[in-house]
Amino acid sequence: MSDRALSFGPIAEAYERFRPGYSVELVDRVLEYADRPVRTALEIGAGTGKATRLFAGRGIEVTATEPDGAMLAELRGHVPAEVTTVRSAFEDLPTGTRYGLVFAAAALHWTAPEDRWPRMAGLLEPGGVFASFGGPVQLSDAAVREAVRAARAPFMESDEVPSPDGTPPEDAMQWPGTELRRSRWFTDVQQSVLAHRLTMGARDYVGLLSTVSAYLVLPAARREQVLGRIMRVLPGTVEVTADVTVHLARRVPEPDPPSR
């Protein structure tokens, strides 16, 4: 795992406080796509459990996995007691147990690309569903966005995570849909966007930025400096776009054994 992938533990409480949650519409979209009862689910990189709670609230037996101990401890304070929690990276998960649904909420890009999809398929029942969802939280106002970019520029060019496979942002199908379409393990790949708009105070917006990996990997003094510069150019409240891009795919059914 990269340094950015393992940078969240020290700010687990802030992550829970400042990161936007997910809507019930997201769960509806996933379960409608499944088109059959989903009884068990596995979450990869569950963070503080914002997505776990929604799926568990639908009566699904969720196993939430997270490699960072501090994040997992924060998660355990927010999810129902019936949620199973496991400290593990995706790459270390045993594939003996299979689930009706495997999902990743703003976490899939931290997994190693080698054998990602056969390993994912090994965690799913035949015909089971894989779901990945997330997206950047961006300032809606172009002038405010430019002021923040200028304030950030001496420290970093961008604070976003680039597409893992280099897909240009203007392409119709984005990652991981691009990889899923090429994988022999998955079919019926779909992409959709759930619109989400928020209004928040400037301090909460800077608090959100303080949980973003690009800032977390900076030395503490530089992180405080850049966040302070951003705070000074913000109005009292900001409008943000937090659209959630959803990718769905179905595990290819395994062939029937040959007749004897």
pLDDT, average across residues 129-143: 97
d(CA 10, CA 68): 10
Look at residue 247 and tell me if it is in a domain: yes
At residue 91, what are phi and psi to the nearest 5 degrees?
A: -65, -20
Q: Domain limits at 33? A: 9-136+163-196+241-251
- If you average pLDDT over residues 243-260, what whole number do you get? 79
Q: Is the pLDDT of residue 178 over 80?
A: yes
State the burial class of residue 184 (Cβ atoms within 10 Å of its Cβ: 0-12, 13-18, 19+): exposed
pTM: 0.92
- Residue among 119, 118, 244, 242 nearest 174 (CA): 244
**pLDDT of 101 higher than 50:** yes
pLDDT at 260 over 90: no
259 pLDDT exceeds 60? no
Residue 83: closest CA among 123, 134, 46, 128 = 46
Instruction: For residue 27, tell me if it sits in a domain.
Output: yes
Whether pLDDT at 4 is above 70: no
Give me the percent of the chain exceeding a pLDDT of 90: 90
Residue 258 binned pLDDT confidence (cut-offs 50, 70, 90): very low
Residue 23, domain member (yes or no): yes
Q: What is the pLDDT of residue 11?
A: 86
Domain assignment present for 93? yes
Which CATH number goes with the domain that contains 177?
Answer: 3.40.50.150
Give me the number of domains the chain comprises. 1
CB-based contact 96:119 (threshold 8 Å):
no
**234 found inside a domain:** no
Residue % of the chain over a pLDDT of 70? 94
Write down the mean pLDDT value for the chain. 93
Calculate mean pLDDT across residues 90-119. 95
Q: Which distant-in-sequence residues (6+ apart) come within 8 Å of 187 by Cβ?
A: 249, 250, 252
- Quick one: pLDDT at residue 58? 97
In a domain, 208, yes or no: no
Please report whether residue 113 resides in a domain.
yes
- What pLDDT shows up at residue 139? 98
Per-residue pLDDT at 1 exceeds 50: no
The band of 3, judged by pLDDT with boundaries at 50, 70 and 90, is: very low
Q: What pLDDT sits at residue 95?
A: 84
Work out the average pLDDT over 102-122: 96
